[in-house]
Structure 1
Amino acid sequence: MADAGAGGDEVIHDAPNFIRVYKSGRVERFLRIDYTPPSTDAATGVSSKEVVILPAEGVSARIYLPTPPSGGYLRRLPVIVFFHGGGFCLGSSFDAATHGHANQLAARASTIVVSVEYRLAPEHPVPALYGDAWAALQWVASHSAGQGKEPWLTAHADFGRVLLGGESAGANIAHHAAMRAGAEVLANGVKVNSLVLIHPYFLGGDSSESDEMGIALLRELIRLWPVVCPGTSGCDDPWINPMADGAPSLTVLGCRRVLVCIGGKDAMRGRGKLYGEKLKECGWHGEVDIWEADGQGHGFHLLWPTCTQAEAQVQAIAEFLSHG
């Protein structure tokens, strides 16, 4: 029997220090968002501002523009549509750690970053946020004819190099956006070039090499999944396990290059590796690379952004994007 909260409201999910969900629909989040306003970053020179994508739904984004060289931009810049992590129910693109990571990506890869503030579960259960992701990707693509509302995109974006990326749950979201891009048409015929998955949040009913690592985190994520996706079939639901029997074929993934970043001590390391292996085996006609941070756990780059492995991971992503 679940505990009762104040006023007798039954608790249906309690993850101490993170989130508590009540039967009434009330949600308490304990993971504080360290809101950081858009700015010109002193360390990188990257400028940022906030834009609205779906006003009625409250979907927005923070967009990042690298500082131009002394002679001005010599060519148009690739643009990556990026999704933050947080188990589908926590986190924000406006959080200090996420903001700092986006600044680093924009600077190192000379890339415009569109960091999406999507709606969170359980108030907006999965799959609502996948629709938000698609709307954000379509919004970016709508600027390719030079008539969009965001001047940073119309003036500086190379719409032949549109990318998707995300970390943890955001990597899951990016995957599904790329799958949809393989099945549907984006505005003005824009294509997704590449996909970057950082510590992807994928589950599965079968065992994997990561089952003995970070077991507490893994159990918590398994317990959380039906809370954010009511009515799910479980850990082999294609939303959370794109390698499951009956999941849409990975052959339709709508890009030609994929980079999967994993941590050597991440509880979902094995799922990330399996994703890359399945892409190689399934008949998808593209290039897939796997980069591993030895001895590091899930989301380590947000906790210790200046450590050697975090710097190396950002550099690996930058090099991958620069060759797209």
Structure 2
Amino acid sequence: MSDAGAGGDGDEVIHDAPNFIRVYKSGRVERFLRIDFAPPSTDAATGVSSKDVVVVPGDGVSARIYLPSTPASGYGRRLPVLVFFHGGGFCLGSAFDAATHGHANRLAARAGVIVVSVEYRLAPERPVPALYDDAWAALQWVASHAAGEGQEPWLTAHADFGRVHVGGESAGANIAHHAAMRAGAEELGHGVKVNSLVLIHPYFLGGDGDGYSESDEMGMALLRELIRLWPVVCPGTSGCDDPWINPMADGAPSLAVLGCRRALICIGGKDAMRGRGRLYCEKLRECGWRGEVEIWEADGQGHGFHLLWPTCTQAEAQLRVIAEFLSHG
């Protein structure tokens, strides 16, 4: 590990978030939040099977796809699809991390959906907004199977392309929002539309502080780090009112074009960004969007709690709410 300033200007540290990430002027990046890699498998607890697939050959965009266990009588109908994006401030995390993998297994089993958990390329090596293109490519890849001619048999044999949902947690919720916005402005192809949007603890900021909520010391420390991190992962940004990170900002594209007909926002009662999630819901209701929006709050829980304590009562409740929401889509 190089020290700041050692070996010339290229080793100058331009961002240091202790225990998370260090970024050097040269472009070198050190990540300290270890990925606990979990291989694809058939999950013993849920019976969900998973495997890894290539989405964009040569570009490093891949996904882990999850298929619920087959009932004894066989699949009586095709299954909805949830295209899901992991969190990590745009620069950390992985679809293949054990916590993300476990959550996807539980989500697929509880909701009875095929989950396509996307391994998008991370900033700052691939800065925001470029990674949104990876999300769109993943959605297009899923849609390409609608005519029964795609490369992934789990999708061609079992997916209901009339019920394609998009979701994510934290930065992944931000990515999911922008994917749904793009789906309102462009065609995915093959007649596929995005049905519903699920945002879990969305990572949205705001320059004037409007919509932030007081939290415990840990929650506020995380918020400060995310605010500091934003210009590192999005060089040249206008700040916390950049529409990429604040879709409610003046001058941001109108939420009325959101390309789905239903949205669920899950927030944590001790998450410093919970107010941003509430504001997002308010703006959706006021903007002329013709869809239905729901919000659910986990009492007393912080940002991303369901990954830290996946079997706690509130994590189970959040999972149940998401599953019920998707089952009606």
Q: Distance in 2 between matches of 1:276 and 1:47?
A: 34
Match 1:143 to one of 117, 131, 145 = 145
Offset at residue 207 of structure 1 (A): 2.7
Partner of 2:293: 288
Which letter does structure 1 place at the counterpart of 2:124?
P
Partner of 1:301: 306
Match 1:10 to one of 9, 12, 17 = 12
CA separation of 1:318 and 1:5: change in aligned 2, threshold 3 A:
farther
Which letter does structure 2 place at the counterpart of 1:199?
H
| Residue 256 in structure 1 maps to residue 261 in structure 2 | yes
CA contact (8 A) 2:143 2:161 kept: yes
Partner of 2:132: 130
Q: Distance in 2 between matches of 1:43 and 1:72?
A: 19
| Residue 222 in structure 1 maps to residue 224 in structure 2 | no
Partner of 1:105: 107
Offset at residue 267 of structure 1 (A): 1.1
Output the aligned Cα RMSD: 0.9
How big is each residue's C-alpha offset from its partner over 1:265-287, in whole Å with a ceiling of 9 and x where there is no partner?
00100000100110011110000
CA separation of 1:5 and 1:307: change in aligned 2, threshold 3 A:
farther
Partner of 2:36: 34
Partner of 2:187: 185
Offset at residue 218 of structure 1 (A): 1.1
Q: Distance in 1 between matches of 2:248 and 2:278?
A: 11
Question: What are the equivalent positions in structure 2 for 1:41-60 lying under 5 Å apart?
Answer: 41-60=43-62
CA contact (8 A) 1:80 1:113 kept: yes
Partner of 1:19: 21
Which letter does structure 1 place at the counterpart of 2:188?
L
CA contact (8 A) 2:23 2:29 kept: yes
Aligned length: 322
TM-score by length of 1: 0.98
Which letter does structure 2 place at the counterpart of 1:7?
G
Partner of 1:272: 277
Q: Distance in 2 between matches of 1:302 and 1:40?
A: 20
Offset at residue 238 of structure 1 (A): 0.2
Partner of 2:245: 240
How big is each residue's C-alpha offset from its partner over 1:135-188, in whole Å with a ceiling of 9 and x where there is no partner?
000000000000000000000000000000000000000000000000000121
Q: Distance in 2 between matches of 1:236 and 1:211?
A: 17
Which letter does structure 2 place at the counterpart of 1:201?
Y
Offset at residue 209 of structure 1 (A): 5.2
Partner of 1:173: 175
CA separation of 1:207 and 1:40: change in aligned 2, threshold 3 A:
same
SS at 2:93's partner residue? coil
SS at 2:161's partner residue? strand
Q: Distance in 1 between matches of 2:47 and 2:320?
A: 17
How big is each residue's C-alpha offset from its partner over 1:58-103, in whole Å with a ceiling of 9 and x where there is no partner?
0000000000111000000000000000000000000000000000
SS at 2:263's partner residue? strand
Q: Distance in 1 between matches of 2:87 and 2:301?
A: 17
CA contact (8 A) 1:141 1:190 kept: yes
CA contact (8 A) 2:47 2:68 kept: yes
Show structure 2 runs of 5+ residues with no match: none
Offset at residue 205 of structure 1 (A): 1.4
Percent identity between matched residues is: 86
Partner of 1:195: 197
CA contact (8 A) 1:210 1:266 kept: no
